[in-house]
Amino acid sequence: MTLRSITLGTGQHQLETSALGYGAMSLAGAYGAISEADSLQLLDHVARCEVTFLDTANIYGDGESERVLGAFLKHRREEFLLATKVGIEKGAGVGKRRARGDAAYIKEQIDQSLRRLGTDHVDLYYLHRVDPDTPIEESVEALGELVTAGKVRAIGLSEATGEEIARGHAVHPITAVQSEWSIFARDVEAHVLPTCARLGIGFVPYSPVGRGLLTDSFDAQALPAEDIRQNFPWFMPENLPHNASLLEQLRAVAARLDLPTAGLALAWLYQQATALGVNISPIPGTRTAAHWDELQRGVDVTIPEDAMAELDSLAGQVSGDRSFDPRWVSGGREGLLPRS
């Protein structure tokens, strides 16, 4: 199939890329080991599927994901829109990382990322998390200076509130915002997506299949004890059985439409984004070509209205928040809602 293109952002800072991107956190072992040879083979498959958007971050595997992408891009950098991120410092254990967005740190980290990626610039550079101790204006100004320096073509924010997006955009045009969005994780629809639509900012949904939950291959009985997902509320023992029952309902809808469940999850995102007036390029991550093919089947599918209504009803029934960090979820906390 021919993968269509989309535009992120507007004006001189807009980027054109494929309507589906690849999220490379999986190449750093977050969901299980993968060899560099298998990573390169997978990336080659993704490229042959006409994907031109590759997304990573300096924190993934302490730079391992960037390094693997750099090896893949060695002789074909110009074929891809390359994004990476800065703004999370590693801490002692899950949930112990801290956001850091001061200008000195941002400017220090871009050079390290460029070295690992083997390039002199990235096309999109995100602030990975908003630093509560650094005004968003300062962080965005530093990112904008990297554009002027030629190290970055455009800038983005990740897991920012609607208010923070607007404040940052007033300092320097924001091309894209990245946050989790899926059938099961919909808090961004309240304020973040309307802000993006109003300002002409593109949106990049990560974990569009719920960290593998919204797929045909997920097995609630076979989640390894060391799996990173054990630390996320959806996958905890008190929530997983209920959420697995919702997954069965999702699978039933997918079967009626003759789609893989992962493909249905992607198709829902595109249809919802059109209704909300935002351009999106989701960035699912996987370690297998077969799973990638299931995902890509959802790119140009129209879901009937009755099926959309059935899928919409599932979101309100999910047990647990999407993150272990209450700063990045709604439900009465500050998360992605405007702060007073």
Cβ contacts of residue 287 below 8 Å, gap of 6+?
26, 27, 31, 32, 34, 38, 39, 42
What letter represents residue 108's amino acid?
E
Name the helix (H) or strand (E) containing 144: helix 136-148
Contacts 24+ apart (CB under 8 A), 103-111: 103/138, 103/139, 103/141, 103/142, 103/145, 106/139, 106/142, 106/143, 106/146, 107/142, 107/145, 107/146, 109/58, 110/86, 110/146, 110/151, 110/152, 111/151
Q: Are 293 and 256 in contact (CB under 8 A)?
A: no
* Catalytic annotation, pick one of 22, 60, 125, 270: 60
Catalytic residue list contains 22: no
Cβ contacts of residue 246 below 8 Å, gap of 6+?
184, 314, 317, 318
**Partners of 122 in the beta sheet?**
152
Backbone angles phi, psi at 89, to 5 degrees: -100, 135
**Partners of 206 in the beta sheet?**
180
What letter represents residue 91's amino acid?
G
Cα–Cα dist 260/256, whole Å: 10
What letter represents residue 41's amino acid?
Q
Active site residues: 60
